[in-house]
């Protein structure tokens, strides 16, 4: 079946242009075709047969960060995220295998391969080769050097390998929750997974980390793969259902957004549609979960100036904003600062910062300027992509700043550790 | 079509990279905020200086192609929609605030400056630029001047033309002209400034604009007053005006609009209300307090169910932002929203509102109405689906009746969005011929070859006319249909 972009979704856009000011790619170029409204018009033309799935069309769909800021801004309720994702499916079907497709299809979504690649990278990082390469790159090309900085440290061991499958709650159990360890999260930030689990356990939850869980499917989904994400979704639904958990707590905004969307992803699947709806209704972001169920407030507050950067997949896709903001304000107390344009994309956007490095770098520049202007010493954000991107920004500029996940902050405060 | 030879000349003027004609670019500049209208330009040009524009105009006169200026494309009368055989010039790239002069309370800006950005810039310096169209977050000053845009503060502070002191413009023959200056008084010559402001991109291209600023009011207060029925809200409007109070804002939303806006902005408005008024008073603190309590009193005696004041500036800003989303939010109900812009003398607002609702009911079409009730400027919005041709016909019929009624009540067919393409048929239908002739003469005089945004506002010649012809055949057909203006509409 040839993929289609639903006509009803396209017609919903009444081209008022109110989404233009929030669109980072429109801000970069000032060109209508790089705006949400322009992209929707292009999609409509493709569906009407007035435009082929051209190279320029494909470029535009991939230039879009899928940050969904336009969806938040749109008074008409246009589901832009769904539109661009179906447009990418269309593009994908019309394109040969690209590097991006290769990474997503054959590395990220296959755990053994990902583990193997991560192993190689770790050897590269700890053996001193990386240091040498960085010194060399710094001399040869500032551009390549900056790119190399994007690579976060590979965690020593994945949380899934170190933590048991079931961890009992600290006090009287309030129930069972299941945790997704995530692909990127567990390779680069397994500590955050450990922090997440420890925070949950401390708040009297019994935690299950299903061994058989697979990649949530978001990375390949956002880049236009149509079948793979569905397969992964079915797998996860089965695995998580078996845990009997009350909630599925997700500490990566991108994964959470995608898993909340399993319901619509599988709505046409006769066997899975109901299960998917039930599954999605149990998915909560880490901060959303804590806000909803209540949590122990640590004795001490964050001792440094703190800002909160709102990850696109949390604020725009999941519409989760008040919860993490409330938590971060509570943890920082009087040290909370205002971050200008806190909901503006940092340029990470999945693997956008790798495949479209230059554009991402400009967005990062804007983000870093705002962070610096806020006077913050700590940046808190709930998505691994943002963590890596902002961390690279900090390193490039040699700033005395730290970027951390809320789970890490909370766990360290519980343990009275330095942040 | 633009020939290869002409393309070469255009590239010589603008440079290779500022000449765009890929299908993707052309499609992206084929529309503006207006429903149902659209046409492809032949090319898009990004000018970088005035000389280029001047050379472009000369070339256009020689080669007879059309030039369409474009700001952000939020226009609601089809003003920046391409005509046949045309190039678009992108003015949104000229976005510098050149100078803010505190001593003379003026500012020089480039035409592509976003209105909202300009407002916050001057407000941070304790100045005020009142024109505040609902699209202020993205529309350009150039587009505002070209359309003589109104907005939420029109009642007390007037519209864009009241703040334009002068400008630099490229005329259709390629001349670069300067008009006005920082003087608050200036009567040298005919008042041609006001002819060009609001000329909808058909008489000149604004390249630099001098704006008047005023001191920012020291205090303000914002309210929402909810009503069971539209009638009572309309009566409140008359009552406030006749009580000699001049609010900065007196905006109105009916029930369908309230529902749509609430779904988007979650302000906690009662979705069952028949109507709501958004009222703001501003000025010195004491005056604000006095006006505010008088207004609250008037609202209650006119039958408001609840009157709610914003507790702080942030809430006031949220209320206003929600009002600004009204038009787009209505697209939640039906995908195609055909927004109209009738204006009647303030005292006739209740009559007009009743007429809108009766006519909609009679023809079984859905209409949501909101608008700047304080200045009689209403936006009845047809809620429909462009794919249902029959229904579109019905909506068109209803609007024809609304325009006629507005004119009958001493009103007009557009209060702020302009005539453009969307309403030119009605202009000629509803106004007397000496006026129409004068418009045509003015256009012919300044632009004899009809190269600047032709076919908008008035039909000077059967060229680039009618319902946006895309092919030669369609042009001929449209030309034949000029006797029947309704055919040319939509
Ligand atoms: C949600 C929404 C709310 C709106 N609310 C209001 C409102 O409250 N009040 C109101 O008055 N309008 C309103 N509008 C209409 C519209 O925003 C205004 O007409 C605005 O002035 C258009 O500005 P623009 O930059 O988008 O111009 P465009 O739409 O690009 O162009 C409008 C016209 O100006 C001409 N033009 C643009 N730049 C130049 C230039 N530099 N020199 C010469 N001509 C030029 C174009 O040729 C065209 O004819 C609203 C529109 C939307 C979508
Ligand atoms: S996506 Fe929404 S905000 Fe953007 S132009 Fe379309 S209707 Fe307007
Ligand atoms: S998703 Fe982000 S980048 Fe893409 S069109 Fe919307 S606002 Fe622009």
Q: Decide if pLDDT at B270 tops 80.
A: yes
Q: What pLDDT shows up at residue A151?
A: 65
Q: Out of A13, A69, A72, give the residue to mutate to test ligand 3, the one with the largest number of ligand atoms within 8 Å of its CB.
A: A69
Q: How confident is the model at residue A157 (pLDDT cuts 50, 70, 90)?
A: low
Q: What pLDDT shows up at residue A315?
A: 96
User: Which atom of ligand 1 approaches the CA of B94 most closely?
Assistant: 41
Percentage of residues in chain A with pLDDT exceeding 70?
83
Instruction: Using alpha carbons, list the distances in angstroms from residue B360 to B228, B329, B354.
Output: 19, 20, 10
CA dihedral in degrees (B284, B290, B296, B298; nearest 10)? -120
Residues of chain B contacting A54 with CB distance shorter than 8 Å:
23-24
Contact between residue B211 and residue B107 where contact means Cβ atoms under 8 Å apart: yes
How much is the mean pLDDT over chain A?
88
- The span from the CA of A85 to the CA of A67, in Å, is 12
Coil, helix or strand for B343?
strand
Q: What pLDDT shows up at residue B363?
A: 96
Q: Decide if pLDDT at A139 tops 50.
A: yes
Among B73, B331, B387, the residue with its CB nearest the CB of A17 is B73
Asked whether A78 lines ligand 2 (CB < 6 A), one says yes
- The span from the CA of B71 to the CA of A30, in Å, is 11
Instruction: Using alpha carbons, list the distances in angstroms from residue A3 to A12, A93, A209, A267.
Output: 19, 8, 35, 16
- Are the Cβ atoms of B261 and A75 closer than 8 angstroms? yes
Mean pLDDT over A156-184 rounds to 85
Asked whether A16 lines ligand 2 (CB < 6 A), one says yes
Secondary structure (DSSP) of B363-410: TT-EEEEEEEGGGTEEEEEEEE-TT-HHHHHHHHHHHHHHHHHHHHTT
Q: Is A49 on the interface with B (CB under 8 A)?
A: no
- The span from the CA of A388 to the CA of A404, in Å, is 10
Q: Which ligand is nearest to the CA of A24?
A: 3
Q: Decide if pLDDT at B485 tops 60.
A: no
Q: What pLDDT shows up at residue B466?
A: 38
Mean pLDDT over B475-484 rounds to 44
* Residue of chain A nearest B72, judged by CA positions: A17
Residue A268 neighbours by CB under 8 Å, 6+ apart: none
Q: What share of chain A is helix, strand, coil (3-state, %, to 5)?
A: 60, 5, 35
Describe the strand order of the beta sheet including B336-339 as a list of residue ranges: B306-309, B219-227, B275-283, B249-254, B366-372, B377-384, B336-339
The better pLDDT of the pair A153, B153 is held by: B153
- At B86, phi and psi to the nearest 5? -135, 160
Residue A142 neighbours by CB under 8 Å, 6+ apart: none
Contact between residue B57 and residue B172 where contact means Cβ atoms under 8 Å apart: yes
The better pLDDT of the pair B240, A357 is held by: B240
Mean pLDDT over B166-170 rounds to 98
| Of the candidates A10, A2, A1, the residue with the CA atom closest to the CA atom of residue A82 | A10
Q: How confident is the model at residue A105 (pLDDT cuts 50, 70, 90)?
A: low
Secondary structure (DSSP) of A131-193: HHHHHHHHHH-HHHHHHHHT-PPPPSS-HHHHS-SEE--SSS---EEEEE--HHHHHH-HHHH
- Are the Cβ atoms of B24 and A56 closer than 8 angstroms? yes
Secondary structure (DSSP) of B20-83: E--HHHHHHTS--SSTT-----SEEE---SHHHHHHHHHHHHHHT-EEEEESSS--SS-TT---
Mean pLDDT over B53-63 rounds to 97
Among A11, A38, A54, the residue with its CB nearest the CB of B28 is A38
Which residue has its alpha carbon closest to ligand 3 atom 4? A64
Secondary structure (DSSP) of A281-313: HHEEEHHHHHHHH--PPPSS---S-EEE---HI
The DSSP output letter for B266 is: -
Residues of chain A contacting B259 with CB distance shorter than 8 Å:
none
Asked whether B160 lines ligand 1 (CB < 6 A), one says no
Centroid of ligand 2 to alpha carbon of A47 (angstroms): 18
Q: Out of A17, A64, A68, give the residue to mutate to test ligand 2, the one with the largest number of ligand atoms within 8 Å of its CB.
A: A17
Q: What pLDDT shows up at residue A390?
A: 95
Residues of chain B contacting A13 with CB distance shorter than 8 Å:
331
Centroid of ligand 1 to alpha carbon of A380 (angstroms): 40
Residues of chain A contacting B114 with CB distance shorter than 8 Å:
21
| Of the candidates A374, A46, A21, the residue with the CA atom closest to the CA atom of residue B137 | A21
Q: How confident is the model at residue A189 (pLDDT cuts 50, 70, 90)?
A: confident
Size of interface A-B (CB pairs under 8 A): 100
Q: What pLDDT shows up at residue A137?
A: 64
Q: Is A79 on the interface with B (CB under 8 A)?
A: no
Which residues of B make CB contacts under 8 Å with A?
22-25, 27-33, 35, 72-74, 90, 92-93, 114, 116, 135, 137-139, 260-261, 263-265, 325-332, 335-337, 385-387
CB B315: neighbour CB atoms within 10 A?
A: 15
pLDDT in tens, A2-59: 568 989 999 999 999 999 999 999 999 999 999 999 999 999 999 999 999 999 999 9
Residues of chain A contacting B263 with CB distance shorter than 8 Å:
77
Asked whether A109 lines ligand 3 (CB < 6 A), one says no
Angle between helices A384-397 and A142-149 (to 10 degrees): 140
Centroid of ligand 2 to alpha carbon of B202 (angstroms): 27
- At A100, phi and psi to the nearest 5? -60, -50
Centroid of ligand 3 to alpha carbon of A15 (angstroms): 15
CB B389: neighbour CB atoms within 10 A?
A: 9
Q: Is A17 on the interface with B (CB under 8 A)?
A: yes
- Are the Cβ atoms of A42 and B73 closer than 8 angstroms? no
- Bridge partners, B89 (sequence order): B45, B69
Centroid of ligand 1 to alpha carbon of B161 (angstroms): 14
Asked whether A23 lines ligand 3 (CB < 6 A), one says yes
Q: What share of chain B is helix, strand, coil (3-state, %, to 5)?
A: 40, 20, 40
Instruction: Using alpha carbons, list the distances in angstroms from residue B313 to A106, B215, B220, B269, B310.
Output: 53, 18, 9, 18, 7
- Are the Cβ atoms of B25 and A31 closer than 8 angstroms? yes
User: What is the distance in angstroms between the Cα of B72 and the nearest Cα belonging to chain A?
Assistant: 8
pLDDT in tens, A351-375: 777 778 888 999 999 999 999 999 9
Which residue has its alpha carbon closest to ligand 3 atom 2? A67
Among A12, A20, A21, the residue with its CB nearest the CB of B331 is A12
Q: What pLDDT shows up at residue B467?
A: 42
- Are the Cβ atoms of A20 and B72 closer than 8 angstroms? yes
* Residue of chain A nearest B40, judged by CA positions: A50
User: Which atom of ligand 2 approaches the CA of A15 most closely?
Assistant: 5
Q: Residue B167 belongs to what H/E stretch?
A: strand B164-170
- Are the Cβ atoms of B24 and A30 closer than 8 angstroms? no
Asked whether B72 lines ligand 1 (CB < 6 A), one says yes
Q: Which pTM value belongs to this model?
A: 0.90
- Are the Cβ atoms of B138 and A75 closer than 8 angstroms? no
Q: What pLDDT shows up at residue B462?
A: 44
Among A17, A60, A74, the residue with its CB nearest the CB of B138 is A17
Q: Decide if pLDDT at B468 tops 60.
A: no
Termini Cα distance of chain B: 23
The DSSP output letter for A336 is: B
Q: Decide if pLDDT at A399 tops 80.
A: yes
pLDDT in tens, A49-83: 999 999 999 999 999 999 999 999 999 999 999 99
Q: Is A319 on the interface with B (CB under 8 A)?
A: no
Mean pLDDT over B135-148 rounds to 98
Asked whether B381 lines ligand 1 (CB < 6 A), one says no
Q: How confident is the model at residue A111 (pLDDT cuts 50, 70, 90)?
A: low
Instruction: Using alpha carbons, list the distances in angstroms from residue B234 to B346, B361, B412.
Output: 10, 19, 19
* Residue of chain B nearest A40, judged by CA positions: B28
């Amino acid at each position: 079946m040839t993929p289609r972009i639903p006509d009803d979704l396209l017609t919903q856009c009444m081209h008022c242009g109110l989404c233009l000011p929030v669109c980072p790619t429109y801000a970069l170029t000032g060109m209508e075709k790089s705006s949400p409204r322009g992209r929707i018009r292009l999609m409509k033309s493709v569906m009407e047969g007035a435009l082929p799935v051209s190279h320029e069309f494909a470029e535009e769909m991939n230039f879009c960060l899928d940050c969904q800021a336009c969806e938040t801004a749109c008074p008409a309720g246009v589901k832009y995220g769904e539109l661009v994702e179906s447009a990418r499916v269309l593009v994908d079907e019309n394109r040969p295998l690209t590097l991006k497709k290769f990474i997503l299809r054959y590395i990220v979504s296959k755990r053994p391969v990902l583990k193997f690649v991560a192993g190689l990278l770790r050897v590269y990082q700890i053996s001193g080769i990386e240091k040498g390469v960085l010194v060399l790159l710094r001399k040869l090309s500032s551009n390549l050097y900056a790119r190399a900085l994007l690579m976060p440290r590979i965690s020593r061991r994945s949380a899934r390998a170190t933590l048991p499958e079931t961890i009992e709650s600290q006090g009287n159990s309030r129930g069972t929750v299941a945790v997704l360890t995530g692909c990127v999260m567990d390779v680069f930030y397994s500590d955050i997974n450990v922090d997440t689990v420890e925070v949950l356990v401390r708040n009297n939850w019994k935690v299950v980390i299903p061994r058989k869980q697979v990649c949530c499917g978001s990375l390949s989904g956002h880049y236009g793969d149509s079948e793979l994400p569905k397969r992964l979704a079915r797998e996860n639904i089965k695995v998580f259902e078996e845990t009997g958990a009350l909630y599925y707590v997700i500490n990566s905004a991108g994964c959470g957004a995608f898993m909340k969307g399993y319901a619509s992803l599988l709505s046409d699947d006769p066997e899975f549609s109901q299960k998917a709806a039930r599954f999605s209704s149990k998915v909560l972001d880490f901060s959303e979960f804590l806000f909803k169920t209540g949590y122990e407030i640590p004795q001490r507050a964050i001792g440094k100036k703190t800002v909160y950067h709102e990850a696109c997949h949390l604020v725009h896709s999941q519409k989760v904003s008040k919860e993490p903001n409330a938590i971060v304000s509570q943890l920082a107390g009087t040290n909370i600062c205002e971050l200008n344009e806190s909901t503006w994309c940092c340029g990470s956007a999945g693997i956008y910062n790798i495949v479209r490095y230059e554009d991402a770098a400009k967005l990062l520049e804007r983000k870093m300027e705002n962070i610096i202007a806020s006077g913050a010493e700590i940046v808190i954000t709930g998505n691994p992509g943002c963590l890596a991107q902002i961390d690279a920004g900090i390193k490039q500029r040699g700033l005395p700043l730290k970027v951390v996940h809320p789970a890490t902050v909370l766990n360290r405060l519980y343990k009275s550790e330095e942040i | 079509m633009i020939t290869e030879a002409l393309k070469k000349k255009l590239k010589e003027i603008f440079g290779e990279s500022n000449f765009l004609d890929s299908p993707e670019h052309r499609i992206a500049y084929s529309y503006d905020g207006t429903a149902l209208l659209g046409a492809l330009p032949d090319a898009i040009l990004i000018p970088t200086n005035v000389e280029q524009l001047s050379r472009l105009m000369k070339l256009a006169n020689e080669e007879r192609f059309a030039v369409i200026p474009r700001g952000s494309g939020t226009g609601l009368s089809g003003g920046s929609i391409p005509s046949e055989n045309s190039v678009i010039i992108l003015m949104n790239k000229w976005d510098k605030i050149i100078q803010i002069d505190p001593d003379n309370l003026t500012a020089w800006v480039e035409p592509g400056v976003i209105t909202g950005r300009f407002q916050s810039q001057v407000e941070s310096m304790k100045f005020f630029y009142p024109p505040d169209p609902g699209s202020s977050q993205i529309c350009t000053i150039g587009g505002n001047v070209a359309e003589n845009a109104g907005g939420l503060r029109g009642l007390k502070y007037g519209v864009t033309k009241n703040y334009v002191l002068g400008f630099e413009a490229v005329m259709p023959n390629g001349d670069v002209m300067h008009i006005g200056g920082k003087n608050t008084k200036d009567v040298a010559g005919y008042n041609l400034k006001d002819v060009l402001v609001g000329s909808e991109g058909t008489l000149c291209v604004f390249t630099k604009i001098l704006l008047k600023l005023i001191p920012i009011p020291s205090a303000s207060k914002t309210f929402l007053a909810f009503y069971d029925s539209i009638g009572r809200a309309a009566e409140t409007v008359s009552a406030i005006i006749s009580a000699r109070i001049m609010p900065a804002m007196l905006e109105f939303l009916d029930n369908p609009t309230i529902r749509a806006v609430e779904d988007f902005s979650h302000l906690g408005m009662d979705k069952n209300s028949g109507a709501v008024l958004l009222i703001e008073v501003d000025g010195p603190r004491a005056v604000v307090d006095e006006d505010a309590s008088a207004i609250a009193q008037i609202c209650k005696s006119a039958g408001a169910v609840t009157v709610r004041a914003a507790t702080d500036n942030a809430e006031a800003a949220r209320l206003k932002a929600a009002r600004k989303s009204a038009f787009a939010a209505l697209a939640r109900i039906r995908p195609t929203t055909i927004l109209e812009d009738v204006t009647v003398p303030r005292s006739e607002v209740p009559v007009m509102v009743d007429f809108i609702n009766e006519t909609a009911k009679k023809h079984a079409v859905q209409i949501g109405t909101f608008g700047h009730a304080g200045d009689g400027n209403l936006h009845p919005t047809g809620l429909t689906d462009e794919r249902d041709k029959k229904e579109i016909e019905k909506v068109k019929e209803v609007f024809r009746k609304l325009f006629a009624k507005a004119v009958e009540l001493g009103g007009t067919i557009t209060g702020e969005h302009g005539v453009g393409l969307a309403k030119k048929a009605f202009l000629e239908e509803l106004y007397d011929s000496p006026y129409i002739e004068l418009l045509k003469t003015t256009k012919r005089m300044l632009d004899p070859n009809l190269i600047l945004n032709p076919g908008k506002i008035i039909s000077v010649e059967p060229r680039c006319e009618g319902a946006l012809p895309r092919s030669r055949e369609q042009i001929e057909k449209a030309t034949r249909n000029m006797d029947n203006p309704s055919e040319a509409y939509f």
